Amino acid sequence: MGYPMAGHLSKQNNCDLFIFNRTTQVVDKWLNKYKGHKFDFNKLPRFKFDGLILCLKDDASIIDLLIKNKLFKCLKNNSFIIDHSTTSLELVNLITSNNEIVKRKISFFDSPVSGGEAGAIKGSLSVMIGGPDKKLSIVKKLIDPYSKTIVKIGPNGHGQLTKMVNQICIAGLIQGLSEAIALGKTSNLNMTKVFSAISNGAAQSWQMDNRFNTMVNNQFDFGFAVDLMIKDLKIALEQSKSNELNLTISKSVLKKYQLLSSTNSGNLDTSSLVKLFDV
């Protein structure tokens, strides 16, 4: 998702971008398409940026780059970090309590996104922000090119908590769609007509609008993978323990996704949950 998001940023006249990916070929491909520069870790002390935007797959990746390899060293004092990754609250606390980050007054914004790869390409992501009010107006203006909605939820951690709510909603919706499609197909219904009949009623959702027909046709190549949802649901369920909640549906869906992953389907889109019905 970071690839098209950075592409949108590159089209802004007042944004001078330096790009990094752990796979060099991805950077080269991006630079052949968009305007920017290659970031070189070997020249880390020479860089002094106004801000840093992260979009990585998990806590470990962020800790490795930002903390262990001291990527924050490339930032000016009183600068900012925007993290669009989906992470744990522990990761947020680790960053916001880092002595050097605090000492240099670097503002951190946990800013996970929703909308998938399609939303990143279209520039229509929903961004949920946790962090300070300081520099918030700058952050909103910067990320606007790839965002449809930007909402400051509350202090640090509230962005990630909101993303947990988001993922729980998605998981339940996809399970419901899977069961509904299984019933419709095994009843020999015309599923195109079924969609026309129900998609503008109470059953309507983003998942139905964008995934119903592809699920019916066994198409599962849309970017946000099963293995990523497994990671996200584990984070949400771990938080639910702290809140003394028993989220039975989320636990059930997590087990189903883990079953899919064990059958070499971990890279398929999350809508592939319907595959377990074999219809």
Q: 260 with 276: CB under 8 angstroms? A: yes
The last residue of one of the domains, among 112, 131, 155, is: 155
CA 266 from centre of chain: 16
Among 38-47, 202-211, 256-265, name the one with the lowest average pLDDT.
Answer: 38-47
3-state secondary structure of 208: helix
Q: Are 112 and 137 part of one and the same domain?
A: yes
Which residue, 140, 147, 142, is CA-closest to 122? 147
Q: Are 22 and 106 part of one and the same domain?
A: yes
Residues serving a catalytic function are: 163
**According to the model, what pLDDT value does residue 75 have?**
94
Strand partners, 37: 18
Q: Which helix (H) or strand (E) holds 62?
A: helix 59-62
> pLDDT-derived band of residue 277, with 50, 70 and 90 as boundaries?
very high
Q: Are 149 and 213 part of one and the same domain?
A: no
3-state secondary structure of 188: coil
| Number of other CB atoms surrounding residue 119 within 10 Å | 23
* Domain extent for 77: 2-155
229-276 pLDDT, tens per residue?
999 999 999 999 999 999 999 999 999 999 999 999 999 999 999 999
For position 174, which CATH number holds? 1.10.1040.10
3-state secondary structure of 182: helix
**According to the model, what pLDDT value does residue 13 have?**
85
Q: Are 139 and 10 part of one and the same domain?
A: yes
Find the Cα–Cα–Cα–Cα dihedral 87, 269, 143, 61, rounded to 10°: 40
Q: What integer is the mean pLDDT of 115-142?
A: 95
Domains contained in the chain, number: 2
| Number of other CB atoms surrounding residue 245 within 10 Å | 12
For position 125, which CATH number holds? 3.40.50.720
Q: Are 132 and 166 part of one and the same domain?
A: no
- Share the mean pLDDT of the chain: 95
> pLDDT-derived band of residue 14, with 50, 70 and 90 as boundaries?
confident
Q: Which CA distances in Å does 60 have to 38, 66, 171, 200?
A: 23, 10, 24, 42
The last residue of one of the domains, among 101, 129, 155, is: 155
Q: Are 141 and 183 part of one and the same domain?
A: no
83-104 pLDDT, tens per residue?
999 999 999 999 999 999 999 9
Task: Say yes or no to pLDDT of 212 above 90.
Answer: yes
Describe the chain by its helix, strand, coil percentages, rounded to 5. 60, 15, 30
Residue type, 139: V
Rounded (5°) CA angle 14-112-146: 35
